[in-house]
């Protein structure tokens, strides 16, 4: 029987060395640290990227929709972008605003819109702008709006001031006239209804009356915001009734150069005084005496009788007609009939 050949394993030189006790890693706490699979890193990176994208989009949307308050250099904001509806600023109001800005800083953002060359046009917050400039503050907190057109900018300004500031009727009417003059609206009527759409019909009517005053006297009045509602409506009616009145008032104001609102109001009031008219002629006294036809009214006294002639005269008969005082009172009574 043939002898079997004994086989031996092949020697592989690149094979790792046999594991020994010293080759087993030792861990301080006896627990191997956790390792991350590559897929976990990929998932985390994707999640972080998505979060950053969402934050960036949220900020972009807030900026585009005018919900993001930004800090803008004050020198880059132009307050001549719109014709302002506020003409005068009360000194006490400005002092109060300055004190508040010094003590607490700017609490309410202004509203602006991007125009050109990195600059911004002021929509609302004119008083805050003036106060901040007075305090030489370098930056202003602002919300950047993106109105569709100038008409929307004017509307935003008017609505903001209607809420925050008590504008006079003259100031409201003036912004209507100026917006129309700049071609924002076709007519005074369209501008009035658009800018003050939230106002009541009587209020819009009064503003419309003051628009006539603005058209006629805006270049001549020195204290237009002092015109009260009552005197303004009377002036508007007078200007509409007499087309020459505006020139007369303007000439008088320019000649006298009133230094106070009361002095200017007195000049205007002089033109609104009603003209003196001669007293109306009294109706001829009724003829007394003659025949009676019907019973007289009780107010004439018991027993008196009267009749009307073809000429409309009243003929009386009865007792006490010889009393002069009674006859005079009776004539006065009958004249008032």
Domains of the chain listed by start with CATH number: 59-148 (3.90.1530.10), 294-335 (no CATH)
Rounded-to-10 torsion of CA 222, 226, 230, 236: 20
Q: Average pLDDT, whole number, for the chain?
A: 76
Which percentage of the chain shows pLDDT scores above 90?
24
Number of Cβ within a 10 Å radius of residue 197: 11
Residue 37 clears pLDDT 80, i.e. is over it: no
Q: What is the pLDDT of residue 290?
A: 46
Residue 250 clears pLDDT 50, i.e. is over it: yes
Sheet holding 305-308, edge to edge: 294-295, 305-308, 314-317
SS3 70: strand
- Of 271, 249, 210, the closest CA to residue 258 belongs to 249
Residue 151 clears pLDDT 90, i.e. is over it: no
Q: Work out the angle between the directed axes of helices 229-241 and 245-256 (0-180°, nearest 10).
A: 120
CA–CA separation, 115 vs 81, rounded Å? 9
CA–CA separation, 315 vs 293, rounded Å? 9
Specify the pairing of strand 294-295 against strand 139-145: unpaired
CA–CA separation, 184 vs 169, rounded Å? 20
Rounded-to-10 torsion of CA 72, 74, 76, 80: 120
User: What share of residues in the chain are helix, strand, coil (percent, to 5)?
Assistant: 50, 10, 40
Q: What is the pLDDT of residue 322?
A: 61
pLDDT tens, 70-97? 899 999 998 877 766 566 666 777 888 8
Look up the pTM and report it. 0.51
Beta-strand runs (E) in the chain? 69-73, 77-78, 110-114, 120-124, 139-145, 294-295, 305-308, 314-317
User: 336: which 2 tokens?
Assistant: 């008032």
Q: What is the pLDDT of residue 234?
A: 93
Higher pLDDT, 154 or 225: 225
């Amino acid at each position: 029987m043939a002898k079997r050949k004994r086989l031996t394993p092949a020697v592989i030189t690149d094979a790792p060395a046999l594991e020994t006790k010293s080759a087993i890693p030792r861990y301080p706490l006896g627990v191997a640290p956790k390792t991350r699979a590559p897929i976990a890193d990929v998932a985390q990176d994707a999640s972080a990227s998505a979060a950053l994208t969402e934050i960036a989009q949220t900020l972009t949307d807030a900026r585009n929709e005018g919900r993001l308050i930004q800090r803008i250099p004050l020198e880059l904001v132009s307050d001549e972008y719109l014709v302002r509806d506020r003409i005068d600023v009360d000194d006490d109001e400005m002092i109060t605003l300055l004190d508040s800005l010094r003590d607490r800083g700017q609490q309410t953002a202004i509203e602006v819109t991007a125009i050109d060359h990195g600059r911004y046009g002021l929509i609302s917050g004119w008083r805050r702008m003036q106060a901040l400039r007075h305090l030489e503050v370098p930056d202003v907190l602002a919300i950047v709006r993106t109105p569709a057109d100038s008409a929307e900018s004017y509307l935003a300004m008017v609505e903001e001031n209607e809420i925050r500031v008590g504008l006079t009727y003259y100031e409201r009417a003036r912004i209507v006239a100026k917006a129309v003059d700049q071609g924002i609206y076709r007519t005074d009527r369209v501008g009035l209804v658009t800018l003050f759409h939230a106002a009541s019909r009587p209020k819009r009517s009064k503003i419309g009356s003051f628009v006539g005053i603005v058209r006629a006297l805006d270049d001549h009045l020195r204290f237009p915001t002092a015109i009260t509602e009552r005197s303004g409506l009377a002036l508007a009616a007078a200007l509409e009734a007499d087309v020459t009145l505006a020139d007369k008032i303007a000439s008088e104001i320019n000649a006298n150069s009133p230094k106070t609102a009361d002095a200017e109001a007195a000049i205007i009031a002089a033109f609104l005084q009603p003209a003196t008219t001669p007293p109306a002629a009294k109706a001829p006294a009724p003829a007394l005496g003659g025949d009676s036809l019907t019973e007289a009214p009780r107010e004439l006294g018991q027993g008196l009788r009267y009749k009307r002639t073809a000429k409309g005269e009243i003929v009386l008969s009865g007792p006490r007609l010889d009393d002069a005082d009674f006859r005079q009172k009776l004539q006065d009574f009958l004249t008032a009939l």
